[in-house]
């Protein structure tokens, strides 16, 4: 076999190769264990002794150049898409294809962290409770009677009871944590409880079957409505800016008396001011304190519950709550 012919034919063949399969066939044909180079090296025995040295040198040179050409081709093919039609190779990579991009906290979590910090400065620590609750903590101890419409099966996620015992449900409000905390600790109690709550609402731009609330509770001797309003006002100013306007509207919640809803004045897209409700609040109903063994003659308290998604959507101009939960990384990495 003529070695220089072998090199020549390999070069011709290699330059015409377009697919990884053809490249692999090339490798097998020339560089494989039974390939042409191996065959050429087996032939050395038939070469006259005085020509063997030159033959061997030529063969080694051929091996080197064919291997190098093969490696070079392999590299080139790895960096060029197999099919170029319709692909813009100058387009920047998509971020979700980049395995090393550092993550960010979800904007809901960022907001909860910020609120935790803020209420922390007012002396509130963070409390936690289960998302899988019983009716005592979600309703009864919160002074919500059995026939109250909020307890209707169609308005709650009750769990199928397989083993008997008290019915269980996904908590519909973080107010359940008020009870969890008061059962375990004596006043003074000053906590916030951020977390998920669940209601079987039909999902649309402003409703979701799961959302987040941030509950607040302060029980001590001599707590009054002034403390409540001051606390909410301080929060609103720290969070939305010192010039923010708040208002309290009389309302009703079974676990507070008196109760109020609090609004913040925002400027809408059309430049018009609009009151936006941020949550409910009130003075802890004496029945709630009694339910957890705290003497309402000695102690009083206030409570409030904020809707976290509302705050996030307001602040960032998000029009559709579903954007927060669809986990599209292009949306989430904006925050």
Q: Contact between 55 and ligand DAH (CB under 6 A)? A: no
Q: Contact between 300 and ligand DAH (CB under 6 A)? A: no
Q: Contact between 182 and ligand DAH (CB under 6 A)? A: no
* Region from 30-38, 75-83, 303-311, 314-322 binding ligand DAH, contact rule CB under 6 A: 303-311
Q: Contact between 187 and ligand DAH (CB under 6 A)? A: no
* Region from 93-101, 162-170, 218-226, 276-284 binding ligand DAH, contact rule CB under 6 A: 276-284
Smallest gap, in angstroms, from Cβ of residue 160 to ligand DAH?
Answer: 24
Site for ligand DAH (CB under 6 A): which residue of 26, 107, 305, 311? 305
Q: Contact between 129 and ligand DAH (CB under 6 A)? A: no
Site for ligand DAH (CB under 6 A): which residue of 133, 135, 215, 309? 215
Q: Contact between 253 and ligand DAH (CB under 6 A)? A: yes
Site for ligand DAH (CB under 6 A): which residue of 26, 235, 248, 304? 304
Q: Contact between 179 and ligand DAH (CB under 6 A)? A: no
Q: Contact between 175 and ligand DAH (CB under 6 A)? A: yes
- Report the 3 state secondary structure along the chain: CCHHHHHHHHHHHHHCCCCHHHHHHHHHHHHCCCCHHHHHHHHHHHCCHHHHHHHHHHHHHHHHHHHHHHHHHHHHHHCCCCCCCCCCCCCCCCHHHCCCCCCCCCHHHHHHHHHHHHHHHCCCEECCCCCEEEHHHHCHHHCCCCCCHHHCHHHCCECCCCCCCCCEEECCCCCHHHHHHHHHCCCCEEEEEEEEEECCCCCCCCCCCEEEEEEEEEEECCCCHHHHHHHHHHHHHHHHCCCCCEEEEEEEECCEEEEEEEEEEEECCCCCEEEEEEEEEEEECHHHHHHCCCCCCCCEEEEEEEEHHHHHHHHHCCCCHHHHCCCCHHHHCCC
Site for ligand DAH (CB under 6 A): which residue of 10, 138, 156, 173? 173
Smallest gap, in angstroms, from Cβ of residue 277 to ligand DAH?
Answer: 10
Site for ligand DAH (CB under 6 A): which residue of 115, 281, 313, 321? 281
Q: Contact between 256 and ligand DAH (CB under 6 A)? A: yes
Interface residues with ligand DAH (CB under 6 A) are 173, 175, 215, 253, 256, 280-282, 303-305
């Amino acid at each position: 076999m003529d070695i220089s012919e072998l090199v020549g034919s390999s070069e011709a063949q290699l330059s015409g190769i377009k697919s990884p399969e053809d490249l692999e066939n090339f490798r097998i044909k020339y560089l494989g264990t039974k390939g042409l180079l191996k065959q050429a090296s087996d032939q050395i025995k038939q070469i006259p002794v005085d020509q063997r040295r030159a033959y061997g040198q030529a063969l080694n040179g051929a091996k080197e150049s064919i291997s190098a050409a093969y490696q070079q081709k392999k590299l080139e093919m790895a960096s060029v898409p197999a099919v170029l039609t319709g692909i813009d190779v100058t387009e920047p990579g998509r971020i979700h294809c980049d395995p090393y991009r550092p993550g960010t906290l979800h904007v809901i979590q960022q907001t909860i962290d910020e609120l935790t910090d803020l209420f922390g400065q007012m002396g509130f620590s963070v409390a936690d409770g289960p998302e899988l609750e019983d009716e005592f903590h979600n309703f009864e101890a919160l002074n919500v009677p059995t026939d109250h419409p909020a307890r209707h099966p169609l308005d709650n996620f009750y769990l199928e009871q397989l083993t008997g015992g008290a019915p269980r449900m996904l908590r519909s409000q973080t107010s359940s944590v008020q009870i969890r905390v008061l059962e375990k600790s004596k006043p003074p109690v000053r906590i916030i409880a951020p977390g998920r709550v669940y209601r079987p609402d039909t999902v649309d731009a402003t409703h979701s079957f799961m959302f987040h609330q941030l509950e607040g509770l302060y029980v001590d001797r001599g707590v009054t409505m002034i403390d409540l309003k001051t606390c909410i006002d301080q929060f609103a100013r720290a969070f939305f800016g010192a010039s923010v306007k708040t208002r309290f509207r009389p309302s009703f919640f079974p676990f507070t008396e008196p109760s109020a809803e609090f609004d913040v004045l925002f400027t809408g897209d059309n430049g018009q001011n609009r009151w936006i409700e941020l949550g409910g609040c009130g003075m802890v109903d004496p029945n709630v304190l009694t339910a957890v063994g705290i003497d309402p003659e000695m102690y009083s308290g206030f409570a409030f519950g904020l809707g976290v998604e509302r705050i996030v959507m307001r602040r960032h101009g998000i029009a559709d709550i579903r954007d927060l939960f669809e986990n599209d990384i292009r949306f989430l990495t904006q925050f």
